[in-house]
Structure 1
Amino acid sequence: MNIELCSEAREFGWQVRRALQAAGGDELVRRSEGEPGLRRTLIASVLGELGAWELEPLRDAAELEAAAALCRSAGYWALPYPVAERLARPVGLGVDGLVVVSGREPAAPVADLDLRWGAVTLDGALGCASVRQVDSSPRESVFVAQLDVHPIDGKGLSHWGDSGQAGTTHLALGLVLPCWTLLGMLDRAIDLARTHVMTREQFGRPLAQFQSVQFQLTDAEVERRGVEMLARYALWRIDTGSDAAVDDALALRLAALEAADIVFRVAHQLHGALGFCDESALSWLSRYSRPIRRLPLGRSAAEDLLTRSIDRAGLAGLYSDPTGV
């Protein structure tokens, strides 16, 4: 097993981050709230020029890893665009993206985009989704829109063979890729916190020299690093076609949500009131992480679903007994 991203994927992710920085960086999310059309033009075009929409993550390991690196770079700049959802699209279904939905009122951050959406439920059922009109402003909605989901008949899935297996595979992918986006946000939150404590002084010395600050940043970094390793493992499980890929995706989501609570709490504590002001990039980063952290299911719901899924067997791992004894 090799859970390290290949060098091509890492280089691709780095180039995406640089391209987004050149296109505006932090200004992309700020401008998009006032000009939602930028998401359909500038952001989609920049990613398209990089070949993002040509990726098929389930075709081979290299494209799967490149998709993960792309999502991570998009998260680093809190890109207000459903990159993970577009990359998770089922090839041949005639849609531009795929969202994971749950509950009686499914929703996703896909407002104000002229795209066709597929949907997959938490039990692996595939369908088509239509986006409802959003009445509130982007600042209030964070581009989240309610969805109407309609099941796809057997004829529509005939070219996939085993539609149940297809739905399960895309469910795992639809859960894992947004976690890579959230990982990119955690990368940026720690970078912002580190820069802040290095430049701000208290009692005549930088905040970074205080032991309590060092402890807080260490705790946050440990959480972020743990999510990174789990994200690589979950990606590898999808590539191997494991039947337990959904369980690993749920475990990753739960770990990512727990880590996000800690990382953003530490970053906000170190920034103080400044971290909640629009002048701070942390404020925008934190706000645009909310759709990923709440949809399709939050921390408690993810924990409950994972617990019921693995039951008494637990999660399979590198050293699991294949006999089940």
Structure 2
Amino acid sequence: MVIDRKFKGIDLFAFTCCSTITLGVTFLPYVGGDEVRSAWLKVLVAVLPYYLLFFLLKKFSSKYESYDFFNEIKNSAWNWVYWLIIIYFIFSTIASIIFGLEALTLLTKVYLLPNTEQWVVLLLFIIISGFGLAYGITAITRFVVALIFVEFLLLFSIVGLGFSEYFRWIYIPPIWTTDVVTFLKSSLSDMARYSGVIAILGFLPYLKKNTAVFRPMSYGLLLVVTIYVAICLFPLKRPKLYIIFSLLILFGIAVWIPGFVEKIWAPVYFNQLVYSFLVPTIILLLLILKQKKGVYQSETS
């Protein structure tokens, strides 16, 4: 099958942002106390491994002209290994959708549509994702490029509302209430907030040849981090008002992205880290090392 490679860096930027931003935004601490005073440090620390993944994707795209992660696995690995990886990705994606829809449905019903039947709320999310499946990658990309303006609206609204009469701006200095090791362990759960970057692997083959890869992805993820940190640095007097406001904006954005709310979902947390970071990183390293130098080099960055 011939892939129509017509998307540019701005499309990759928008896709990175919209596939990564999740309702983890509303799960960030926004009340007083020790937790909020260290939360913004956690989201900054948790994002660093994904910049390593982006760097490897840049190297991969400079060595493989197709930019096709899964096709290169197929060409480089045994058939059974390829299908094992594909099946793992499929099941992990399905699990992410299930837990994500459950979290989105629960939060929407509790804070936004309390008098609506749960199946109605769930149906709304399924319809939104169904439109994307029906109209394909082009429609999805146009949709997320339009939604990038919503992301900026969300960021500016958070900052703007922070100075309104309903909210109180407080500078929150970083504190350490525990040792470094415990802090890093607790940051692992925040890594799951960025696991939506896995969708980029399926989007890269649709980029035009020699399109910049690293910078659009990095800027997109930086916008997401900025939104997270802004929320942490602007504690609210009326958190319920903020949750309703956020849900109104994010209602139709990250339908397929994992949501994590409860500690009993620890296995899902762990699998998200393996599925979105560890496995792609190992495979990218193997593919990069396998390809001989000089076979294909682009000017992408």
Q: Do they superpose with TM above 0.5?
A: no
* Structure with the higher helix share, 1 or 2: 2
TM-score by length of 2: 0.32
Greater relative CO (CA pairs within 8 A, separation 6+): 2
